[in-house]
């Protein structure tokens, strides 16, 4: 015959091969173990022939090309095309995978996955092929999408939404307000021990509380802490008292120097300092003014250098170690009287106590209609005071009644809240601080003479400011035990003359025992 380049195939051999065809047409020969009969002689055919094909084809000029493909390349046109397609697709997919991987730094993208699948599993059946083509198309599409922004920088992993939509922002505001309101109520309606452990367990609550508090302060016409900062600056510069008699003028307390210890230092304790606005304003001036500011709150708010974490009912301060104690809106907690008694303990004799509170918190038990049960029941907007619907009929409180009650409570609360936030004092609620002043007198505090009428400052629409001095022995509370000792101390006025102490009244004398803590109503804030 003729020689085919690179291959020495004789027609004889081709004939032999056609004989093998019948062997090849049968199912795959079973594996024969070495030594087994018939194991050796038959050489394993190199190419697989398709079953069902005629094996009796002679090679001639016309069919040589076909036979070449069929026998040597092992497939017909269709099969070859399929293989070629598969090869192309695998190549294409590989290329796409590389591109996709280059553009997708992290993880396996859909494109890469599809490409990988295509590379690893060339299509064998039509079904497989279709699947593969589909996957390839998807891969290509994905890769294109990725490719369309080749120069885009790698996106940061899961970035927080950079800008909130107006709706999201409004919802966030509501959430902050709601959290603040809840925490605020908690502080006002529980004993400080509970508040202390609550904030100790969850310090983030403190941050939440102050975020809300700051928002409230922003809408107030005046922040009392600013007044205190100004007063300290003014009085801190004075060294000598004026020649006039104390209390001659009105609100002239700022003409008097700050109380100081023997070394001329004035130690100021800001009790319930919040985010230590007072300390922040005054610490830079401490040398100039000769002051030291100590700040205490339930949490240090991330400012441990300024704020000491403590329950102000239990201060880490020595007796008589403070010259000025300040409660600026800090008489929260159902045991606020304990705070006052603690202030008495840490203040030195003639030390000053400054109190700023929201006007509408003050309750005068003697002017609440003289109801049975005494002043302990007087917190007027307390829900518990209202008669429950259904109670008259003696029947149980139904669902409708409950809903109505809730509605009423909310309406009433709204009215109360308007007082605080809008700075609108309800006319019917004349602020009367008499009972409060009396409770403090029993704890050894007198209104400060130097301030005259201004010792109770009602000028502000929302707040009352009061100036007390530790000038008499406590006759009630934990410091009453110290009264004998205190009485030994000779009290003198600015000119060194002995001060007449008021007649000592025993706490039990002619007094109905009631919870004085109820003299200040809890204060809740309106949500904007």
The residues that touch ligand SAH, with contacts defined as CB under 6 A, are: 187, 192, 195, 213, 225, 272-274, 277, 296-298, 311-313, 328-330, 332-333
Please, which residue, 109 or 192, has the CB nearer to ligand SAH? Answer: 192
Please, which residue, 146 or 223, has the CB nearer to ligand SAH? Answer: 223
Please, which residue, 312 or 447, has the CB nearer to ligand SAH? Answer: 312
Please, which residue, 331 or 469, has the CB nearer to ligand SAH? Answer: 331
Closest distance of CB 516 from ligand SAH, Å: 17
Please, which residue, 123 or 326, has the CB nearer to ligand SAH? Answer: 326
Closest distance of CB 358 from ligand SAH, Å: 11
Closest distance of CB 304 from ligand SAH, Å: 15
Closest distance of CB 293 from ligand SAH, Å: 12
Closest distance of CB 517 from ligand SAH, Å: 13
Query: Of 516, 466, 505, 508, nearest to 483 (Cα)?
Result: 505
Query: CB burial class (10 A; 0-12, 13-18, 19+) of residue 465?
Result: buried
At a CB cut-off of 8 Å and minimum separation 6, what does 482 contact?
A: 345, 473, 474
Please, which residue, 111 or 187, has the CB nearer to ligand SAH? Answer: 187
Q: Are 298 and 309 within 8 A, CB to CB?
A: yes
What number of helices (H) and strands (E) belong to the chain? 15, 8
> Angle, nearest 10°, between helix axes 203-219 and 192-201?
110
Please, which residue, 25 or 217, has the CB nearer to ligand SAH? Answer: 217
From CA 311, how far away is CA 94, in angstroms rounded?
68
Closest distance of CB 110 from ligand SAH, Å: 53
Please, which residue, 313 or 475, has the CB nearer to ligand SAH? Answer: 313
Please, which residue, 246 or 333, has the CB nearer to ligand SAH? Answer: 333
Closest distance of CB 274 from ligand SAH, Å: 3
Please, which residue, 298 or 475, has the CB nearer to ligand SAH? Answer: 298
Cα 412 to Cα 296, 409, 463: the distances in Å are 34, 5, 21
Tokens of 117: 């699948």
Q: Are 115 and 100 within 8 A, CB to CB?
A: yes
For the chain, the residue count is: 528
Closest distance of CB 334 from ligand SAH, Å: 10
Closest distance of CB 311 from ligand SAH, Å: 4
From CA 52, how far away is CA 24, in angstroms rounded?
10
Query: Of 217, 189, 229, 129, nearest to 517 (Cα)?
Result: 189
Please, which residue, 90 or 328, has the CB nearer to ligand SAH? Answer: 328
Closest distance of CB 456 from ligand SAH, Å: 19
Closest distance of CB 277 from ligand SAH, Å: 5
**What is residue 152's DSSP assignment?**
S
Please, which residue, 274 or 365, has the CB nearer to ligand SAH? Answer: 274
From CA 149, how far away is CA 146, in angstroms rounded?
6
The residue sitting closest to ligand SAH, measured at its beta carbon, is 274
**3-state class of 165 per DSSP?**
coil
**What is residue 392's DSSP assignment?**
T
From CA 434, how far away is CA 444, in angstroms rounded?
15
Cα 424 to the chain's mean position, in Å? 31
Query: Of 473, 515, 511, 510, nearest to 490 (Cα)?
Result: 473
Query: Of 139, 154, 132, 138, nearest to 95 (Cα)?
Result: 139
**What is residue 270's DSSP assignment?**
E
From CA 205, how far away is CA 197, in angstroms rounded?
12
Tokens of 90: 């695998």
Closest distance of CB 436 from ligand SAH, Å: 17
62 Rama sector, left if φ>0, alpha if ψ -120 to 50, beta otherwise: alpha
């Amino acid at each position: 015959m003729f020689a085919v380049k690179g291959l020495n195939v004789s027609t004889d051999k081709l004939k032999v091969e056609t004989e093998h065809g019948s062997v090849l047409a049968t199912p795959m020969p079973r594996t024969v173990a070495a030594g087994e009969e018939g194991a050796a002689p038959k050489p394993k055919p190199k190419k697989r022939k398709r079953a069902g094909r005629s094996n009796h084809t002679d090679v001639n000029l016309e069919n040589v090309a076909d036979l070449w493909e069929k026998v040597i390349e092992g497939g017909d046109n269709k099969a070859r095309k399929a293989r070629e397609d598969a090869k192309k697709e695998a190549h294409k997919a590989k290329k796409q995978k590389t591109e996709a991987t280059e553009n997708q730094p992290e993880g396996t993208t859909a494109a890469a996955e599809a490409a990988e699948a295509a590379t690893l599993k060339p299509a064998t059946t039509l079904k497989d092929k279709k699947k593969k083509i589909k996957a390839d198309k998807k891969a290509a599409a994905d890769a294109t999408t990725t490719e369309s922004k080749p120069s885009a920088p790698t996106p940061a992993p899961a970035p927080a939404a950079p800008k909130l939509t107006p709706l999201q922002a409004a919802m966030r505001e509501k959430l902050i307000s709601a959290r603040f309101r809840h925490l605020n109520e908690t502080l006002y309606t529980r004993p400080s021990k509970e508040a202390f452990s609550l904030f100790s367990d969850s310090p983030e609550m403190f941050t939440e509380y102050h975020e809300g508090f700051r928002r409230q302060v922003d809408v107030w016409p005046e922040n009392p802490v600013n007044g205190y900062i100004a007063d300290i600056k003014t009085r801190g510069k004075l060294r000598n008292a004026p020649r006039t008699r104390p209390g001659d003028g009105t609100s002239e307390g700022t003409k008097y120097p700050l109380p100081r210890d023997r070394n001329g230092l004035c130690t100021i304790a800001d009790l319930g300092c919040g985010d230590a606005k007072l300390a922040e304003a005054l610490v830079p001036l401490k040398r100039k003014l000769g002051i030291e500011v100590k700040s205490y709150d339930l949490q240090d708010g991330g400012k441990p250098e300024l704020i000491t974490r403590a329950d102000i009912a239990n201060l880490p301060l020595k007796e008589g170690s403070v010259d000025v104690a300040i409660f600026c809106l800090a008489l929260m907690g159902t045991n606020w009287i304990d705070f006052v008694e603690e202030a008495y303990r840490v203040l030195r004799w003639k030390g000053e106590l400054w109190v700023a509170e929201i006007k509408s918190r003050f309750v005068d038990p003697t002017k609440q209609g003289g109801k049975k049960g005494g002043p302990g029941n007087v917190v007027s907007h307390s829900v518990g005071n209202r008669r429950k619907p259904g109670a008259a009929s003696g029947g149980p409180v139904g669902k409708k009644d409950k809903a109505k009650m809730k509605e009423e409570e909310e309406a009433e609360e709204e009215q109360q809240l308007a007082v605080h936030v809008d700075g609108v004092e309800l006319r019917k609620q004349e602020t009367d601080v008499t009972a409060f002043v009396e409770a403090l007198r029993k704890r050894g505090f007198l209104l400060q003479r130097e301030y005259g009428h201004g010792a109770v400052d009602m000028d502000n629409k929302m707040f009352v400011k009061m100036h007390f001095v530790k000038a008499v022995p406590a006759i009630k509370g934990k410091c009453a035990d110290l009264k004998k000792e205190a009485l030994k101390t000779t009290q003198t006025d600015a000119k060194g003359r002995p001060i007449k102490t008021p007649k000592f009244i025993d706490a039990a004398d002619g007094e109905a025992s009631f919870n004085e803590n109820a003299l200040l109503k809890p204060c809740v804030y309106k949500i904007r």
